[in-house]
Amino acid sequence: MQTIRALIAEDESILALTLINMLEKLWPDLRICSSAENGVAAVQEALTQLPDILFLDIKMPGKTGLEVAQELAEEWPDKQAFPLIVYVTAYDEFAIEAFEHAASDYLLKPISEERLSKTVKRLQSKLANSQDRSGELERMVAQLRNLVPEITAVPPQQAEKLTLIRAAVGNQIRMIPLTDVLYFEATDKYINVVTAEHASLIRLSLRELLPQLDGQVFWQIHRGTIVNSQFIQTATRDESGKLTLKLRGSADKIQVSRVYAHLFKQM
């Protein structure tokens, strides 16, 4: 019988150890292949270990559990079955509505052995009844589309619409009309603002920028990319189903993630 492997992402070490001990008791055959103390490490470990199950804490440093799920949905290998996800949260309002439908299960802190036992049985049933889990990724992507606004939400007072981008270039400030922007691309600490003539860096996150843009014109197509839809020339799908955009005025090839591929379905 194939060994089932799980990854635990939890920033509180005592809670992580408690969960591991409970799982060892309730599911002796389960192998904990790795653990992570923050969202960034969770993504890295998941893509390295390719586990069957992910226990994701919702509130983690670096990336939230939802952001981890979104990045994994974008980066997961095409031929590898997507893991079953169990969200772990301290807040009822998160679990009851959103995560009940966007994951294989959810757990409320503090985790009880009785509740975890039910989760274990659900996971075992899913694994036993679906030898081919190829549909798990598609299901998760569909649910993430509904949860993406929750990921990118910012307070309303920060959402004033932009018409002009002010970018520092040396000791000068470059004034960039928003209508000239081809796309925005996130880097480690900055956003790269790309026009047909030049690229400039601004100190802002996509999460802060997105609500300030006209959603009818600027489309998020990846967790790190927003494009000006008025410059989209073609969307090309390769043999594996991945989409690449060609923009007027740019030779760059812009990748579309699975979460946003539905924007380019034929009308």
Per-residue confidence in pLDDT tens, the chain, 267 aa: 679 999 999 999 999 999 999 999 999 999 999 999 999 999 999 999 999 999 999 889 999 888 898 889 888 888 888 899 998 988 766 555 555 555 678 888 999 999 999 999 999 988 887 654 656 667 666 666 666 655 554 444 455 788 999 998 888 899 999 999 999 999 878 999 999 999 999 998 888 898 899 989 999 999 899 999 999 999 998 887 789 999 999 999 999 998 888 888 864
Q: Same domain for 139 and 186? A: no
How many CB atoms lie under 10 A from the CB of residue 265? Answer: 7
Q: Same domain for 145 and 45? A: yes
How many residues would you count in the chain? 267
| Structure tokens that stand for 247 in this block | 């923009």
Strands (E), 2-159: 5-9, 31-36, 53-57, 84-89, 105-108
Q: Same domain for 187 and 139? A: no
Q: Same domain for 148 and 117? A: yes
* Dist. CA 104–CA 136, nearest whole Å: 10
List the CATH number of the domain containing 244.
Answer: 2.40.50.1020
* Dist. CA 3–CA 122, nearest whole Å: 17
Predicted local confidence at residue 246, as pLDDT: 96
Alpha carbon separation from 72 to 63, 155, 163 (Å, rounded): 12, 26, 33
Q: Same domain for 48 and 122? A: yes
Q: Same domain for 180 and 127? A: no
Q: Among 104, 134, 152, which residue terminates a domain?
A: 152
* Dist. CA 52–CA 5, nearest whole Å: 5
Q: Same domain for 72 and 114? A: yes
Q: Same domain for 148 and 164? A: no
Euclidean distance between the first and final Cα of the chain, in Å? 46
Which amino acid is residue 94, in one-letter code? F
List the CATH number of the domain containing 104.
Answer: 3.40.50.2300
Q: Same domain for 131 and 34? A: yes
State whether residue 59 is helix, strand or coil.
coil
Cα 110–114–115 angle (5° rounding)?
Answer: 60
Domain count, the chain: 2
What is residue 192's DSSP assignment?
Answer: E
Residue with tokens 């007072």: 157
Residue with tokens 């000239």: 180
Domain ranges, residue 101? 5-152
Helix (H) or strand (E) holding 152, with range, is helix 134-152
Q: Among 120, 152, 184, which residue terminates a domain?
A: 152
Q: Same domain for 38 and 143? A: yes
Q: Same domain for 198 and 130? A: no
Predicted local confidence at residue 79, as pLDDT: 80
Q: Among 152, 179, 208, which residue terminates a domain?
A: 152
Which amino acid is residue 169, in one-letter code? V
Q: Same domain for 16 and 80? A: yes
- On the 0-12 / 13-18 / 19+ scale of CB atoms within 10 A, 99 is buried
Q: What are phi and psi of 240, to 5 degrees?
A: -85, -5
